[in-house]
């Protein structure tokens, strides 16, 4: 019998690029025997737009509309990164109010990304009520973005030296209202998804990351904190005003899909807590420290690496300037670059074919930031 089983024919299953379970546009090539995956190989590059090349052809100011398109569900960390990298090379100061507004934007974006992830994670196991709720609720935050920046998805709001617009009248109250609403909805989300018996059954013990290896594998963000390792860029290397805000670092033991889910679930609460503090503490003052005319704007020669904690983990930009009107090189490090290729291939070995999309979603694989 054992001999028969090992002789079982190996089939190849191409999951994607057109496949409803794949997050975005990528392909996972699976070698299966029966329902078990023997080997997995990811194929990326379906979304390559050559952003890094395009930025070498653009003025510094023209780079801001480009970078936000690198990560679609959560564009703000990109703008934040580019702005901070330029500020670091130039040595430009950012007014305190602008820093608070940036934190507000980043945390709102984090909540939208987590709500989107909830939809994806539960959609991957067929719980279609959850995406309908969470993506519908996400729209309330998108409305806030639209009021503040003019764009629902792409904001182009954070730029070098500060932010583009001040908060409209009554905006803080509307943010508070939306936060109250989302906090009240968390109870429903818990009942529907996080405490659902079938979700627990499916998520526990699936997609286990080796805890000892997690740091070496380059795991960041919620998957790392889901291994019980407390690292977060907001605490390790505080940027903007995160060191003046009080929030907790969420970790969860278990190393599996469920612990990653719980980390994200609890971080929504922390984000709401941060946003409330930001709204209370926000000082008045200027919002922008203007630079030279954008058409003649030369950034002095130098390089800088900056990082931001996005909803999927550490988002880093390496910006090199040669003192000219255009960047020499902007290199983007998306968390999904490691999670979506090396780690995913590793985790899929020996998994069930039913869990591919499940594991992918729990790692927050986002193809546009892999290939840029």
Binding residues among 15-34 for other proteins as defined by CB under 8 A: 17-21, 24-25, 32
Burial class (CB in 10 A: 0-12, 13-18, 19+), 80: buried
177 binds other proteins (CB under 8 A): no
327 binds other proteins (CB under 8 A): no
Determine the interface stretch with other proteins among 131-139, 164-172, 244-252, 261-269 (rule: CB under 8 A).
Answer: 131-139
Among 93, 181, 204, 354, which residue interacts with other proteins (rule: CB under 8 A)? 354
Among 40, 60, 64, 73, which residue interacts with other proteins (rule: CB under 8 A)? 73
Q: Which is nearer to other proteins, 99 or 122 (CB)?
A: 122
Binders of other proteins among residues 191 to 250 (CB under 8 A) are 192, 196, 198-199, 201-202, 215-218, 231, 236-237
Give yes or no for a contact between 149 and 137, defined as CB atoms under 8 angstroms apart.
no
Determine the interface stretch with other proteins among 161-169, 240-248, 252-260, 303-311 (rule: CB under 8 A).
Answer: 303-311
Q: How many residues does the chain have?
A: 372
54 binds other proteins (CB under 8 A): yes
Q: How far is the CB of 14 from other proteins (least distance, A)?
A: 8
Q: How far is the CB of 6 from other proteins (least distance, A)?
A: 19
Q: What are the backbone angles phi and psi of residue 259, rounded to the nearest 5°?
A: -65, -35
Q: Which is nearer to other proteins, 59 or 142 (CB)?
A: 142
321 Cα distance to chain centroid: 26
Query: Across the beta sheet with 313-321, what order do the strands follow?
Result: 302-310, 313-321, 329-333
Q: Which is nearer to other proteins, 223 or 368 (CB)?
A: 368
52 binds other proteins (CB under 8 A): yes
Structure tokens at 172: 């803080």
Closest-CA residue to 71 (of 316, 357, 271): 316
Q: Which is nearer to other proteins, 136 or 292 (CB)?
A: 136
329 binds other proteins (CB under 8 A): yes
Q: What are the backbone angles phi and psi of residue 158, rounded to the nearest 5°?
A: -85, 125
Q: How far is CA 232 from CA 10, 140, 229, 311, 342, in A?
A: 41, 27, 9, 11, 21
Among 1, 3, 126, 169, which residue interacts with other proteins (rule: CB under 8 A)? 126
> DSSP letter string over 92-122?
----HHHHHHHHHHHHHHHHHHHHHHHHHHH
Q: How far is the CB of 276 from other proteins (least distance, A)?
A: 25
Give yes or no for a contact between 183 and 140, defined as CB atoms under 8 angstroms apart.
no
Total residues at interface with other proteins (CB under 8 A): 89
The sign of the dihedral angle between the CA atoms of 343, 344, 346, 352 is: positive
Q: How far is the CB of 59 from other proteins (least distance, A)?
A: 14
């Amino acid at each position: 019998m054992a001999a028969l089983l090992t002789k079982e024919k190996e089939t190849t299953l191409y999951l994607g690029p057109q496949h409803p379970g794949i997050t975005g546009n990528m392909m996972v090539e699976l070698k299966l025997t029966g329902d078990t995956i023997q080997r997995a190989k990811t194929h990326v590059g379906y979304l390559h737009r050559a952003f890094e090349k395009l930025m070498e052809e653009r003025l510094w100011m023209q780079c801001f509309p480009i970078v936000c398109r690198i990560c679609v569900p959560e564009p703000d960390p990109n703008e934040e990164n580019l702005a901070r990298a330029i500020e670091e090379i130039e040595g430009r100061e950012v007014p305190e109010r602008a820093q608070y507004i940036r934190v507000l934007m980043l945390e709102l974006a984090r909540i939208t990304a987590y709500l989107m992830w909830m939809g994806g994670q539960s959609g991957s196991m067929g719980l279609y009520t959850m995406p309908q709720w969470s993506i519908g609720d996400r729209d309330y935050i998108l409305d806030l973005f639209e009021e503040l920046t003019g764009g629902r998805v792409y904001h182009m709001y954070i730029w070098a030296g500060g932010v583009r617009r001040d908060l409209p009248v009554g905006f803080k109250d509307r943010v508070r209202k939306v936060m109250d609403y989302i906090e009240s909805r968390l109870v429903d989300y818990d009942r529907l998804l996080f405490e659902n018996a079938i979700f627990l059954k499916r998520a526990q013990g699936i997609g286990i990351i080796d805890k000892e290896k997690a740091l070496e594998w380059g795991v960041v963000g919620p998957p790392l904190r889901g291994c019980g390792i407390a690292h977060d860029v907001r605490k390790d290397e505080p940027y903007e005003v995160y060191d003046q805000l009080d929030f907790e670092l969420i970790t969860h033991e278990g190393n599996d899909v469920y612990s990653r889910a719980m980390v994200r679930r609890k971080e929504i609460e922390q984000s709401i807590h941060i946003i409330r503090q930001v709204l209370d503490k926000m000082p008045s003052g200027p919002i922008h420290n203007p630079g030279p005319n954008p058409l003649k704007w030369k950034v002095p020669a130098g390089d800088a690496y900056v990082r931001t904690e996005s909803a999927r983990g550490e988002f880093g930009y390496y910006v090199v300037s040669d003192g000219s009107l255009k960047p020499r090189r902007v290199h983007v490090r998306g968390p999904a670059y490691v999670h979506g290729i090396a780690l995913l291939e590793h985790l899929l070995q020996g998994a069930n074919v039913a869990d591919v999309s499940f594991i992918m979603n729990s790692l927050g694989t986002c193809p546009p930031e892999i290939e840029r």
